[in-house]
Structure 1
């Protein structure tokens, strides 16, 4: 794909690199469509278990490519505002697809993650940052509303409502150390952020196949749980299903033999 570089560091891990480094991997029509194709392919990929998402060059993703904010190819030949709504919805669908993937998604944020790039990182399951990573919602700076591409949903659930209101309304830039303090990322890499993300992926691939898939599904489902009882209902069913895979018995046998499952 012209705008993405795909590699398999191991058969069950896909490294997806946004590949428009001259534009800080800004989201144009071609990149958005390539991302959709990869995410659609991943839904049917039963071998891949973890996806690592990063950017080429010195940035993760700078957001919408403002040289062509409303690309003609994305308008479906419709009149305004229907044409722009199609493009808006197409970009926003990316965050839904990321959250709904069976695979765990690790965002290896190697530089600026602004606007839509920030939204892609927030829709990932785990975020790790390089020491040069920067985060900014940016939208309100562009004469738009500050809530776009899912950030008004994902950001408060990650850092809390108070911090999210601050970050979205002021559109201030957060560096890697502050992102770690806020809980926006789970770790800051001292070396290669991609290598650290791949190390996490290797750990995850050592766990049961159904267990890893169901854990992601339960975590996302219970973000919207109305209460503890509803959350427990989802957890209970997932655990019983997981126990039928045979992986629990294998893990118990390994434990008894003092060996790694």
Structure 2
């Protein structure tokens, strides 16, 4: 049985499904290792222009697998402290792989996104939730910290510091309607419409210029880290100049509007 499934529901769109529904797609190593490898492979597949990630069954991902997490790869001969370090590094790299993908990533949050599952959703570029979804920073409920896999970095940037502090310190559930209201997800849709809404958005993204799409994703993320408006505005300008001067995309978009047709971006001159 494959714990990670890949489908191609629309032209240029890949659907990646975490496929261990009996454990709510928990982050066991036998799921996360192939998931990371799949993301890295898709990132270099130039036929894929946008990616949708979801979970099989009733959950997106329930975070740490408390029943049978397995072992990270390549740990022969290592002592327990080093194994723990390698395990965290491997899980960290899953979050980073989502963020580093060349394509925009949309999380279709179909159910519970708990602990590390919340981190996976936050590492994507866009989150759309079904009305059955809910989110929880669960570490504090388990006697640990709520901070894991970049959560204390990503959540305040998504919803603001005060809301993030309250959610992480209380360990309470955030249901889909509230998640939409506070900006944790961009929208909430009926469960039966979730994948269709994500595919429609992904397909729209796939029509745009490849460098335009990739540079927009990069500058949006770098803007969250920018030390000043001045430094970031220069970076944005360089990206805009790169595409404007090295492609005829702008001229094609202008012509397409005049001719009432869909533009055909060549990404070159």
Query: Which category of TM-score, normalised to the shorter sequence, fits these structures?
Result: over 0.9
Distance change (3 Å), C-alpha of 1:234 and 1:81: same
**SS, match of residue 223 in structure 1:** helix
Displacement of 1:9: 1.2
**SS, match of residue 17 in structure 2:** strand
State whether residues 8 and 14 of structure 1, in contact with CA within 8 Å, keep that contact through their aligned partners in structure 2: yes
Describe the superposition over 1:16-65 as per-residue Cα deviations: whole angstroms up to 9, x where unpaired. Answer: 01100000111111111111111121232111111100010111111111
* Alignment size in residue pairs: 260
Displacement of 1:257: 2.3
CA distance in 1 between counterparts of 2:54 and 2:3 reads 13
State whether residues 52 and 108 of structure 2, in contact with CA within 8 Å, keep that contact through their aligned partners in structure 1: yes
**SS, match of residue 68 in structure 1:** coil
Describe the superposition over 1:232-253 as per-residue Cα deviations: whole angstroms up to 9, x where unpaired. Answer: 1111011011112221111011
Q: Aligned residue for 2:59?
A: 59
Q: Aligned residue for 1:72?
A: 71
Q: Aligned residue for 1:259?
A: 261
State whether residues 136 and 174 of structure 1, in contact with CA within 8 Å, keep that contact through their aligned partners in structure 2: yes
Displacement of 1:68: 3.0
Describe the superposition over 1:148-184 as per-residue Cα deviations: whole angstroms up to 9, x where unpaired. Answer: 0111111000000111111111111000000011100
TM-score (norm 1): 0.96
Q: Aligned residue for 1:196?
A: 197
State whether residues 159 and 183 of structure 1, in contact with CA within 8 Å, keep that contact through their aligned partners in structure 2: yes
CA distance in 2 between counterparts of 1:47 and 1:248 reads 23
Which one is further off, 153-162 or 6-15? 6-15
Q: Which runs of 4+ in 1 moved over 3 A?
A: 72-75
**SS, match of residue 16 in structure 2:** strand
State whether residues 140 and 146 of structure 2, in contact with CA within 8 Å, keep that contact through their aligned partners in structure 1: yes
State whether residues 75 and 83 of structure 1, in contact with CA within 8 Å, keep that contact through their aligned partners in structure 2: no
Displacement of 1:109: 0.3
Q: Aligned residue for 1:127?
A: 127
CA distance in 1 between counterparts of 2:157 and 2:46 reads 29
Displacement of 1:74: 4.2
Q: Aligned residue for 2:175?
A: 175
Displacement of 1:129: 0.3
Q: How does 1:213-232 map to 2 (within 5 A)?
A: 213-232=214-233
Displacement of 1:72: 3.5
Displacement of 1:11: 3.7
Describe the superposition over 1:173-204 as per-residue Cα deviations: whole angstroms up to 9, x where unpaired. Answer: 00000001110001111242111100111111
State whether residues 72 and 87 of structure 2, in contact with CA within 8 Å, keep that contact through their aligned partners in structure 1: no
Q: Aligned residue for 2:49?
A: 49
Q: How does 1:20-59 map to 2 (within 5 A)?
A: 20-59=20-59
CA distance in 2 between counterparts of 1:168 and 1:68 reads 26
Distance change (3 Å), C-alpha of 1:47 and 1:137: same
CA distance in 1 between counterparts of 2:4 and 2:23 reads 13
Gaps (5+ residues) in structure 1? none
CA distance in 2 between counterparts of 1:72 and 1:108 reads 28
CA distance in 2 between counterparts of 1:72 and 1:220 reads 32
**SS, match of residue 5 in structure 1:** strand
Q: Aligned residue for 1:101?
A: 101
Distance change (3 Å), C-alpha of 1:88 and 1:252: same
